[in-house]
Amino acid sequence: MTPTQPTQPTQPAAPQATPSSLYAAATESLSHYTGETGNVSVNLSDLFSQVFKHHSKDEAEEIFIAGTKTTTPPLSAVSDEWAKPWLFSRILCGFLIAFIALLYMATQFDNDNAIPGLILVGAFAVPFSGLVFFFEANAFKNISLFQVIKIFFIGGIFSLLITLFLYEFVHFSFYSQMTGNLELRDAVSIGVVEELGKVLITSYFISQLNVSHILDGMLVGASVGAGFAAFETAGYIYRAGNDLVSVAIVRGWTAVGGHLVWAAIAGGALLVVKREKPFRFSQLLDSRFLIFFALAIALHAVWDWDLPILGSGYSKYILLIIVAWIIVFVLMNAGLKEIARLKHTAS
């Protein structure tokens, strides 16, 4: 009779990394740098639940008049729950209708006078609509639409101006100049230069407005980033020639995860450091800010770089957009927890 072999103890299966577990781990890690703990739970269906509901003109006007001395709510009336923005979608629909009408004029009636409008509407549609999203998401409602539009135009243009000045000190690789394809170091250089140009202007407006909350910083950053994106895209569309429409469409939908959110990330991170204190340039060297700023630069660099793994197709942009918005939600979550803490302290 064959002797029975001893049974080997079964080893527990290694836990499988799932998208949800990776998301939880990533958001928990990032939350640490905002001063908060735990992962971030975002219910997207709830966040956008008001988009498909009917809203009156009075409701829209009530949103737009926020931020003045007479319409800024007291802290006790500020909600620490996730906002449910909807007006941004109406603004986007308005832009899309205008774009289609201008395109029809240009193609069916061979009217070249419609081209400048087509360029501007195509360039401004997504960045400005996205900016309205951040305006609605600012629970403090302490920055007026007038200030937002001022930062959008002045901040957007001057951030481009500073960026062009900084580019004078950048030398691209011979390979890049000969082929038009960016090596990694070229893409990183672009990311550093353009994000630095935006954050310097964002810092200026944060100092001028003397804001002290994370959601405020995100709105100021988004205003600068949206302006930067709109004017830059207008240039790309203008130079596209016969490809004007396709360039406008691609630059349009990808703008949802570009300059708008990269600058919002930097603005929110700066307020993680600044809080109630006056702005100091030394705050830009704080590790809490630098972590998020480095992430914005990395997102920008990978966006421009022909990454061997993902290539230059739309899959890369979609992935980067998702990552960027995860970081945005981490900062928004920190902003909401900040409100809860302030209300608790004041009570």
pLDDT 10s digits, 11-28? 555 556 787 889 999 999
User: Does 58 fall in a domain?
Assistant: no
User: Does 38 fall in a domain?
Assistant: no
State the alpha helices, DSSP H only, in the chain.
19-34, 44-47, 57-64, 87-108, 114-137, 145-150, 156-167, 174-179, 184-209, 214-238, 244-254, 259-274, 287-304, 314-346
| Cβ proximity of 332 and 300 under 8 Å | no
Rg (CA), the chain: 23
Least confident of 4-8, 62-66, 127-131, 214-218: 4-8
pLDDT, position 178: 80
User: Does 259 fall in a domain?
Assistant: yes
* CA 268 and chain centroid, separation: 10
User: Does 30 fall in a domain?
Assistant: no
Least confident of 162-166, 177-181, 190-194, 245-249: 177-181
User: Does 145 fall in a domain?
Assistant: yes
pLDDT, position 239: 96
| Cβ proximity of 199 and 229 under 8 Å | no
pLDDT, position 2: 46
Q: Count of CB atoms within 10 A of residue 293's CB? A: 21
Residue type, 178: M
Q: Which residue has the tokens 């979608």?
A: 89
User: Does 55 fall in a domain?
Assistant: no
User: Does 307 fall in a domain?
Assistant: yes
Q: How many domains does the structure of the chain reveal?
A: 1
Contacts of 263 (CB under 8 A, 6+ apart): 195, 198, 199, 202, 221, 222, 224, 225, 226, 228, 296
pLDDT, position 177: 82
Structural domain span for residue 255: 82-346
Is the pLDDT score of 322 beyond 50? Answer: yes
pLDDT 10s digits, 284-302? 999 999 999 999 999 999 9
pTM: 0.93
User: Does 119 fall in a domain?
Assistant: yes
Sign, CA dihedral 304-306-312-317, equals negative
Cα–Cα–Cα angle for 247, 252, 306, nearest 5°?
A: 65
Q: Which residue has the tokens 């709109």?
A: 230
Is the pLDDT score of 1 beyond 50? Answer: no
